[in-house]
Structure 1
Amino acid sequence: MTRAAPRDLATSVVICAYTERRWDDLVAAVASVREQTVPPGEIIVVIDCNTELAERAAAEFVGVTVTENTGKRGLSGARNTAIDLAKGDVIAFLDDDAVAAPDWLEQLLAGYRDTRVLAVGGAARPRWPDGTRPALLPGELDWVVGCTYVGQPEVDTPVRNLIGCNMSFRREAFGLAGRFAEDLGRVGRTPLGCEETELCIRLRQASPGSVILFRPEALVHHRVTPDRLTWSYLGRRGWGEGISKAQVSRTVGADAALATERDYLRKVIPAAVARELVRGSLPGVFALGAVVSATAAGYLRGAVAGQRLRIRPAMPRLVHGPIHVSTVDLSVDASVARGEIPVPARTVGRYRAAQVLVRDGERTLDVVLLPVSGGVVRLDEIIARGHSRPRPAFERPLISVVIPTAHRKEQAVTSVRAALAAGYPHLEILVVDNFPPDGPDEVGDPWLRREVESLGARYLVEPVKGVSVARNTGARASKGELIAFVDENISVERGWFDAVAEEFVADPSVGCVTALVLPASLETDAEVLFERLKGYSHTVRRQRLDRETVREDPLYPLSMARYGPGSCTTWRRSTFEGLGGFDPLLGAGTPSMAGEDLDLFVRLARAGGTVVYTPHAVARHTHRADWLELRERMRGYGVGLSAMLLLSVARRPVVVFSILRRVPRGLARLSSRTPELPLADRAARARLRQLRRDERYGMLEGPVALSRSWAVARSSRWRRRHAP
């Protein structure tokens, strides 16, 4: 992506406020922004939990967007509210008790001349109540009152983090690192902070080649009230800072969270103490000692009370940076002759590794993880793998493609287009809307209906929630001999249906065919972690799995995931209908959250059916890119697994002994899976452990979730539509 030059950047200036006591300050802050030498594109004032103040501001500030905080109470929630509203290429933040210099915005934008720069901040000078610095506050402690302190750079310098009252970010920075962590930061008058520190650290970790620039010429004047010049406030502020730093350490790692602080304690504080002693300023010496001691005590308190104070980061640090995802076809790619694959440059930072799908025409040869060096991936090992046989000719049966969709309907349309582009001549595509707008069931979503039908696909409405119900609805309405179930976040690649149909035609005993599903991207930490723990690219060897083959696995039936992802499977109609379809008590959209595909595989194995996994049918899965969504998804997998096992016992009680005998080994397997993806540091390993814990804790919720699904199933509407 090409970034605009500073003069072409549209800007949004955000000011957050919460109390009428600062009304005059807020008026001065807004006026200073209006008087900039480079006018902002828009000014956004966010009021945190104060309706009267919001009404007053809306009436007073003509031409200013005034809104109330729609997030969690506190400064971080207010800032995130503004980010959602802002339209500018650059979003700048100014405190409500700060006044910007006339060229403040101009100086900030000048920092973006370097396209590597993702954030620019400036200096904040204190405005003392009586115009003079108090003796008890040396310049090295100006951070206590929210200002630039002695020891910070005096020229343009890349830094770890910016100061909260004077900072700006490119819009794309929030796409890379997420938003402000709403469990950090000031709430009312509570002197906590570090939300901007934590965000800046995450931004550097999400984009290692980026720059966060401190530009002293971008100046604001920050008012200091008399209540902040007391010994009590110094102690509380230091204590709050320590607790906040402990929280940040757990989120991004202690090394990143405390790097600047170590230099501050080793260099800045000793020099300040020596200077104050020479001057004979005992209040300054005592203030330095008191603030440092209170901060250290707060940090220890935060570290000891880790579980109670644990925060939910918007996105964790990357395991080893982004991974480039690509495909090389040995039969057509000109890059093979040169022995290398060019890797495109990222907007910020660089790829350190590439996941390469190696194809030879219609056949998959391998999926390899290779280092990126000098912007290319060497192909020496890939070329040596040789070529594969062509696909034999066969008569292609009609395949009905069922795509259930709920919250990601745009992705469902993309999935339809991918299916049409796969090059299979006999397709019937049915999109089942499982989250239609309120209204008559037959109407559904007009936009989705129009998009789907314009592509030649059929649009169905299934208002009863649950992916299993939606799939079953699509299957009943379909006509094909084969039924392919493709989730809305999966796009099949060219040749997918041919590879699947080939397996059914070659062996009439095959009841189901699963496919190789690779990530659509590995740009964020959450995507990399998901691929590490739940990635579907487990092998590039064709496998034929039946009851006897699977039962040889000591973890059966906990090992049914080896059949492949149920979100991208094709079933022979007779087999699917003979099993009764997906169980509506399981799956996304129900309290059980998942497990419907494993349950169907278990029933197939017990019935003596056969599954073929083919690596030659390749699809791309859009992984969860957000850390919190990934954690919830991992919990859902655990809930669904235990719910599925409990349902299996309910159907056939004798299997409880087999399950109980294998549970300890299965739990150990959940804790030890290590697919071959890079894992660079302690913080990354901690996040993997957290995701495994989420999955195990989810398993404890399975019985309750299954009972809730059962209660929903007994509702009159469900019984009327889906009673056997």
Structure 2
Amino acid sequence: MSTEAPTTSVVICAYTERRWEDLVAAVASVREQTVPADEIIVVIDHNRELAGRAAAGFDGVTVVENAGKRGLSGARNTAIGLAKGDVIAFLDDDAVAEPDWLAQLLAGYRDPRVLAVGGAARPRWPGGRRPPLLPARHRDREDGTGELDWVVGCTYTGQPVTETPVRNLMGCNMSFRREAFALAGLFTEDLGRVGRTPLGCEETELCIRLSQASPGARILFRPQALVRHRVTPDRLTWRYLRRRGWGEGLSKALVSRSVGAEEALSTERDYVRKVISLAVLRESVRLLRGDRSGATGVVALGTVVGATAGGYLRGKAARRRRLTGTGTPKLVHGPIHVATVDVRSLPRELTVPRRAVGHYRAAQVLVRDGDRTLDVLLLPVRDGVVRLDGVTPPGAAAPAHTGFERPLISVVIPTAHRKQQALGSVRAAQAAGYPRLEIVVVDNLPGPDGDAWLRAEVEKLGARYLAEPRKGVSIARNTGARATSGDFIAFLDENISVEKGWFDAVAEEFATDPEVGCVTAMVLPASLETDAEVLYERLKGYSHTVRRQRLDRRTVREDPLYPLSLARYGPGSCTTWRRTTFDALGGYDALLGAGTPAMSGEDLDLFVRLARMGGTVVHTPHAVARHTHRADWLELREQMRGYGVGLSAMLLLSVVRRPVTVFSILRRLPRGVARLGARTPELPLSDRAARSRLRQLRRDERYGLLGGPAALVRAASRHRFDAGSGHR
């Protein structure tokens, strides 16, 4: 934004004529601001009568109807699409802004790093006095806050009292720079209040997504930006306290699914441990001193916290049922249909093809909006049909950036035993629609004079053929990288096929963030026809998140295993590196990876070295590729053992390079071992044989850990450390 004062749009959403007087007061308070708003938008949520009354009653105000899904999130998204201001501020229809409210919000944007600013909300109690149902330290002070005031949509004890960066803002009093929605997308329409249903957290989820999309950005709470929020008598009952707590828990469960439980609950854990605990102690002391209000306070605190916890557990359970399909067997070890749908032409149902043997019981469905990924769902198949009429995407994806010059991207495809698949990978890359590619196929099992057939087939496709007789995928990748000229190098394994738009999505990340050294993609299975393929997806699939992730040194606060948690990065078999970053790291280590005794670990090793160098990895869900999993059970067992061997070999090599690393590894080891044995909820299994096979695969991986040190010694004896082979 420029140094001039930003233009502002103020948005007020309304849904019922019962709040007409409140809505009139809210609009009037915006008109009386010391810094006038450039435009006022009132969005009416699916109420024709109210829309007509508002259009007739408000001069100089843009009145529109919600064009999205019914609910507060859909109404806000409608306004965002219409707003012209540099800053978009949101005020509830039952809140009145202080005259300097907008000026105080805009003052927070003096720092260009600030992408969102919110303020405080003071309650307007019925009768002018705080009810005994909501405890507070200073019950008689007009400006006092209580621990449960969030239940009625107001600032509560535990929030900052001075200007402070926060995780998220309050929905009744918040504002965002316009570019925040380009970075994080819009409000999730599966969250947020619908009519009088006391759900919420849509602003929390959006703020967390914004921080994930732009970790250097700040979200600022300025209590000086004050609104007065009217509290109606129906919100001051035991029944409402229970319903509001329950709804908050349900909403938090949805948020944790979207952005991760660690982010979704970080503030809440401190709130319960510190704020609620002290409040219970204070109210208990009051009770012991003969003040009966203490008993009311203790019961109220227990009621809300208990209802919230119950709602959260219920929401997590509902998530598990939704993924497996309500009323269908939980058994998904059999064949699963793989499909892609676009919300722009979403059918009511998806017909699943018949199989020669057996039938599909579930479908993994990639939901996209054009070239942007929205979700990946596991849905039941009934009578050969997948019902899609109830599918609601979790929110709009951030729009693609188009105003950048497409750089040359060099594609390196190493191959050994699956050369036919390598040709398929070349064809998929060429069909992805990117205008500037150079593709090199590196034959890592060429024979003494190369493979004449593969050379001819590769050159027919307009790609280059290189022979690298020294065994090892790391050596093959390094050889291919040295033979290319692009500023960015995409490494695609022979069993990877990228989809249309893959290179554009990757190039977008590099163009919009110069600090990014590596971009990883969403990799989905090409097929889930055999038990081995399904079990691999269950254990090692990379479709665990559909949100963009930016991983750097800050990530260590979120994940105690970082930077040793490969799942946070995505697969090394489908990555794109900035050449300067790749060269600074020295490329892949030839002691690790397929084709060596260590069998794997080369991708995580490179990620870890990047993290220790202070580099940044971005995972984009919009670059989608398909991976051909091992279809044979015995091959899968060997692959899982190889993962264990490679992991321990990589850890040992890290210690050899830098002995002090041993302390970091030992600190993370217990959590890492626990995670290896953890049960992944996305593909629940109820079949005894399938569960037995799953346990066997975990044992294979753990046994492989024991063989890593010996494998590294054998690899070192085979490959001497010399500059020509790329070893350090």
TM norm structure 1: 0.54
Partner of 1:427: 437
Q: CA offset at residue 345 of structure 1?
A: 1.2
Query: 1:127-206 counterparts in 2 under 5 A?
Result: none
The answer to whether residue 373 in structure 2 is matched with residue 364 in structure 1 is yes
Structure 2: distance between partners of 1:340 and 1:376: 6
Q: CA offset at residue 408 of structure 1?
A: 0.2
The answer to whether residue 412 in structure 2 is matched with residue 402 in structure 1 is yes
* Among 647, 650, 664, the residue aligned to 1:644: 650
* Among 467, 477, 480, the residue aligned to 2:483: 477
Letter in 2 for 1:516: M
Partner of 1:693: 699
Query: 1:597-616 counterparts in 2 under 5 A?
Result: 597-616=603-622
The answer on whether the counterparts of 2:516 and 2:615 sit within 8 Å (CA) in structure 1 is yes
Q: CA offset at residue 321 of structure 1?
A: 1.5
Unaligned runs of 5+ in 1: 1-317
Structure 2: distance between partners of 1:384 and 1:672: 28
Letter in 2 for 1:674: T
Q: CA offset at residue 714 of structure 1?
A: 2.2
Letter in 2 for 1:327: T
* Among 644, 655, 666, the residue aligned to 1:660: 666
Letter in 1 for 2:501: G
Q: C-alpha deviations, 1:599-629, integer Å up to 9, x for none?
A: 0000000000000000000000000000000
* Among 427, 430, 435, the residue aligned to 1:417: 427
The answer on whether the counterparts of 2:555 and 2:562 sit within 8 Å (CA) in structure 1 is no
The answer on whether the counterparts of 2:339 and 2:365 sit within 8 Å (CA) in structure 1 is yes
Q: CA RMSD in A?
A: 1.6
Partner of 1:671: 677
Letter in 1 for 2:372: R
Relative distance call for 1:635 and 1:395 in structure 2 (3 A) is: same
Query: 1:501-650 counterparts in 2 under 5 A?
Result: 501-550=507-556, 552-650=558-656
Partner of 1:314: none
Larger Rg: 1
Partner of 2:224: none
The answer on whether the counterparts of 1:561 and 1:598 sit within 8 Å (CA) in structure 2 is no
Query: Match of 2:700, SS?
Result: helix
Letter in 2 for 1:628: L
* Among 348, 354, 369, the residue aligned to 2:357: 348
Q: CA offset at residue 649 of structure 1?
A: 0.6
The answer to whether residue 386 in structure 2 is matched with residue 373 in structure 1 is no
Query: 1:99-114 counterparts in 2 under 5 A?
Result: none
* Among 702, 717, 720, the residue aligned to 1:714: 720
Query: Match of 2:417, SS?
Result: coil
Q: C-alpha deviations, 1:154-176, integer Å up to 9, x for none?
A: xxxxxxxxxxxxxxxxxxxxxxx
Q: CA offset at residue 682 of structure 1?
A: 1.6
Relative distance call for 1:723 and 1:386 in structure 2 (3 A) is: closer
Letter in 1 for 2:515: S
Letter in 2 for 1:648: S
The answer on whether the counterparts of 1:396 and 1:426 sit within 8 Å (CA) in structure 2 is yes
Q: CA offset at residue 347 of structure 1?
A: 1.6
Q: C-alpha deviations, 1:617-653, integer Å up to 9, x for none?
A: 0000000000000000000000000000001111111
Q: CA offset at residue 678 of structure 1?
A: 3.6
The answer to whether residue 341 in structure 2 is matched with residue 328 in structure 1 is yes
Q: CA offset at residue 598 of structure 1?
A: 0.3
Structure 2: distance between partners of 1:390 and 1:609: 26
Structure 1: distance between partners of 2:664 and 2:398: 42
Relative distance call for 1:721 and 1:481 in structure 2 (3 A) is: same
Give the % identical residues. Answer: 77
Letter in 2 for 1:474: G
Please, which moves more after superposition, 374-383 or 649-658?
Answer: 374-383
Structure 2: distance between partners of 1:720 and 1:547: 32
Relative distance call for 1:391 and 1:608 in structure 2 (3 A) is: same
Relative distance call for 1:414 and 1:675 in structure 2 (3 A) is: farther
Q: Runs of at least 4 residues of structure 1 off by over 6 A? A: none
Structure 2: distance between partners of 1:700 and 1:388: 43
Q: When the two structures are aligned, how many residues end up with a matched partner? A: 397
Relative distance call for 1:690 and 1:711 in structure 2 (3 A) is: same
The answer on whether the counterparts of 2:542 and 2:567 sit within 8 Å (CA) in structure 1 is no
Query: Match of 1:380, SS?
Result: coil
Q: CA offset at residue 671 of structure 1?
A: 0.6
The answer on whether the counterparts of 1:555 and 1:666 sit within 8 Å (CA) in structure 2 is yes
Q: CA offset at residue 372 of structure 1?
A: 0.6
Structure 1: distance between partners of 2:434 and 2:482: 22
Structure 2: distance between partners of 1:538 and 1:636: 22
The answer to whether residue 466 in structure 2 is matched with residue 460 in structure 1 is yes
Unaligned runs of 5+ in 2: 1-330
Query: Match of 1:527, SS?
Result: helix
Letter in 2 for 1:405: T
The answer on whether the counterparts of 2:374 and 2:393 sit within 8 Å (CA) in structure 1 is no
Structure 2: distance between partners of 1:386 and 1:656: 43
Letter in 2 for 1:359: R
Partner of 1:26: none
The answer on whether the counterparts of 1:533 and 1:675 sit within 8 Å (CA) in structure 2 is no
Relative distance call for 1:590 and 1:450 in structure 2 (3 A) is: same
Letter in 1 for 2:341: V
Q: CA offset at residue 664 of structure 1?
A: 1.8
